[in-house]
Each structure stands twice: as C-alpha cells, then as structure tokens.
Chain A
C-alpha cells in the first residue's frame, strides 16, 4: 500500500477489496462512496473507514470488514452508518453479518429471514436486543472479579465465580431466544417500540449450569415464588436497572440455564459475556444478559420490565389502537406457537412445472409443535408438511415439503403450525398495546412464470 495514495477513495477501494470484499460488497461500496464524496476528501486510514462506519479503526478489527460492515438500515434507502463505539464493537466482536439495525444505542438489530436457515443459529446471525448499554467487562472480555450472587428468599446467600460455574456439571441445549416484540412491525395500527419483523429470534446452542442446581445450593425458602434478574450493564437515562423475572417453577425447570458458552464459544459481548440466563421458549427479556445477581422474591417480581405495559399483555382481547387500564395487564411469559418459512424467499420466481422446496422452523413456547400445514391459496386448502422432532425440549423444529407449481401466477406460501395442545397461529395478527407475541401466519409471495 503506497502511503501517498492514502486518503483517496481509490486507495480505500483497493484496501477494502484487498481485505476480502466480495464483488457485491464492492458494488455497495461504489454506490456509497459516490454519495459520500461530496463531503470532501476522506481522512487517513482508519478515519476514512470510521466515516463509513466500518469498525474500530485497527487493521485487525477491519479484517473481513465487508459482509458485516454494510448493514442495511431498517426502512432506510441507504446503509446506516454505525458510529456508536459500543455498537461497532458488538458487531465486530461477534462477526455479525447482514443484520438489519433498528437502533445503535441501545443496540437493536434483527436477522433477515434469508440468514435464518440453520437449525442451530450461528453467532454471526443471532439478533441483538439491548435495553441499555453493555457492560465494561463485556467490552474488555475480562472475567476477573466476576461473580453471580443469589439472594433473597433463600436459606443462605451464595455466589459463584466464572471458574466455579465452569467446574460444575454442565448441560448443552438448543434454545429459541425470541424478543417478546418479534413481529411488532406487522401490527396494525403500528405500535411503539422496535419494529421487528421476523428475525428477532435465534436458536443457538447454549452451555451452562441448570439454574436449579444453583438455587438448590442456596436453598429455597417456602416463600420463594419468583426470580428477579440483574446484570452488569450500565443503564441509559435515569431509571432503575432493567430487571425481569420468572416464576420459580420455570426457574427450576432443567432447561433454564446459567450459560457461559454460545455455540461452544465464550458468549460474545452482545449476547451477555461472561454469563447470561437462557430461559427457553419465553420472551427473550427473561434471559438476562451480563447476569450477576438473581434475587429470589416472595411475590411476582416488580423490576423494570415487569410493570405498567412493558412485557405485559391485556387479560382480554382489546380493540386495535386502544389502551386498557394498567390493572388489566398481566406479565407475559411463554411464546405462543409460531413458524417461519426460510425458503423460498419472498419474491422468488419459478417456472410452471417446477417444484419448490419449502423449508422452515416451528416452535411453541412451552409446548411441542405436532403438525405443520402449508397453503398456497390464501388459506382455502392446507397441505401437511413433513415435520421433524425437536433436538431437545424447546428447540425449534425443522419442517419441509415439496411444492408443485403447475400453473402460472402470483402465489403466497402460508405456513401454520399446530402444537400438542391444539393451539395454532392466527391468519390476521390480533392486536395488543405493546405488540407482543406476534405470531400471525408467515406469508411468502412468489411468482410462477410461464415455462
């Protein structure tokens, strides 16, 4: 690299190409750079990349910067510039690719359906939903001085260092972690909050210690009925720390774990380094990241995120756009039955006579999915798809079917799961004031052209 060339768009272009940018990446680069050039000449080296929002500014951090650097902004016509230091760190640290970023501070980003094909969600494709900042410890990856405390309605207060946790008997489960607001973007009228569409869910593999084992060491008093979770993350604004909880039965369920590995690796900063809760099947906010304290309560927990309208559902169906009184809202918990079509992708084109392979996942909170149905005529007729068993309780299940396409025209592939309690998904999304539990049937439009 010739020093004299630095500071020109041509230099930056070569630099990015030499660091592994794909031809598509270069196309995006050319589009963005032509738009940016009127701002004047680029700065030198890292400064130029920082202008475009590519990373922390060191060569090492910029390795493979494309693919994760250009992130489509939700609803925006051009890629968002990631300028927030923590956001840049989080995306680089977990090698994120192609996330749709709704907000940088706090970081909120979902995975496009195209990247959700895997049975085990790779770290690079796991969504991020933060309520506040991330901890200093996670930024530095420093386990020194970490401990998890358990107190409240217990016989003895106990604490565990990371080392102690790692030396206990561990378990590994695949678990869907899904933001309670996933699907909010499909609510009508629109509801406040991140406008998640389909991808605020991941089903990664988590390794840790069952929470029940830790609670047994502390000894639960008979008054223990609920947990309250706290983490090391600094709070945005002047408000109490984010703190949700779960009933003690769910806390004692063997798949509820205090995790320190994600897909076999140390948990990335964005996902809760060094330790987080994994409460499978429930709103993601119950799976507290950067976890350092669990308080056992003698009543339903009342931390931030448990009261008012946050993560709460109306006791009865409400009219779209209305707001029931606060006392008619109850704490949300398990997700209802839901499914996703991962292939074909929306707006795919086929020729008459072709067969489309339809694939997807299905999951059902506390239940197991028993049947999967597909329609291509707006719900008039449904055909049963082939459905696999969950890898372990709670893990999402894979389904598929071969769809013959004998006639031309516009079709929508609809997918509908039925769980072992007979619950199924609504065609039209029922409404609630904060748009939780969005589980309306996923609809994928395709075109079939004459052969």
Chain B
C-alpha cells in the first residue's frame, strides 16, 4: 500500500504530523480533523507543521521580514509541505514575522 520513497514511513510528514497531533493533547476519542488543526494557535501550527521535516531551531535563529518568510514558505511547499491550508500558512507566516522578524532580539 505504501511505497517507500526517500523516507522510512514513520518519518514521512503525515506520520510525524499524526504523532505530534496525538502527542499534543487531542482529547481521547476525538477524531483528528483539519478543523481541529485550524483551531490551533499560530505557534502550535508552526511547531507541528515545520517540525514534521526539520527541527525548528533553524527558523528560530533567523530574522526575516514577511517577504522573505513567504519566500521560505514557497520553498517548503516545493519541498513537500503540500498539506497546509492557505489559512494555516498565513498563520504560520504571521507567527514567524511576529517572533522572528528583522527587529527581533537575537
């Protein structure tokens, strides 16, 4: 059913995302739906979706304006981050600009 491509199955973004969602306090018995995901704060969206592939120190150590964060997000979509809704993406960019903008302390 699943064909192994570059990553072992447990490392694929959806699998990691599911792990994170389960680990992060979804009440027992609830289905994990996109609707639930959308209720997450921008910070939670950032932590969960970005960490599906890489650890999040990488964005956290950068200081970029909105254009550049959008440029980064464009590339992340090219790299396989295809599951984000436009609303989720916007919230993540807002979070990045707000916390890791050019004027944020290093």
Contacts and interface: CB of A to CB of B under 8 A. Distances in A.
Interface residues of A, number: 27
Contact of A237 (B13, B60, B61): B13
A26 interface: no
B6 A103 contact: no
A234 B61 contact: no
Interface in A39-73: 73
B54 interface: yes
Interface in A77-128: 80, 84, 101-106, 108
B79 A75 contact: no
Contacts of A323: 71
A101 B62 contact: no
A103 B51 CA distance: 11
A447 interface: no
Interface stretch (A188-196, A213-221, A340-348, A354-362): A188-196
Contact of B106 (A75, A80, A103, A108): A75
Interface centre among A102, A189, A237, A323 (most CB of B within 10 A): A237
B102 A194 contact: no
Given A192-B71, A238-B13, A239-B80, A84 B55 contact: yes
Contact of A106 (B54, B61, B78, B81): B54
Nearest to A193: B62
B12 to A, nearest CB: 8
Interface in B3-22: 5-8, 11, 13
A236 interface: yes
A108 B60 CA distance: 14
A349 B79 CA distance: 48
Given A235-B6, A238-B5, A190 B102 contact: yes
Contacts of B79: 236-239
B58 interface: yes
B58 A237 contact: no
B89 to A, nearest CB: 16
A241 interface: yes
B64 to A, nearest CB: 6
Interface of A: 73-75, 80, 84, 101-106, 108, 189-195, 234-239, 241, 323
Contacts of B8: 234
A104 B57 contact: yes
A237 B80 contact: yes
B74 to A, nearest CB: 10
Contacts of B5: 238
Nearest to B101: A190
Nearest to A304: B79
Given A190-B64, A195-B62, A234 B7 contact: yes
A234 B6 contact: yes
B55 A105 contact: yes
Interface centre among A106, A192, A234, A239 (most CB of B within 10 A): A192
A190 B59 CA distance: 12
A236 B71 CA distance: 19
B72 interface: yes
Contact of B80 (A73, A84, A192, A238): A238
Given A192-B62, A237-B13, A102 B57 contact: yes
Contact of B78 (A190, A235, A236, A239): A239
Contacts of B68: 191-192
B13 A101 contact: no
A292 to B, nearest CB: 15
B41 to A, nearest CB: 22
A157 B106 CA distance: 51
A75 B61 contact: yes
A190 B7 contact: no
A80 B57 contact: yes
Contacts of A74: 57, 61
A193 B69 CA distance: 11
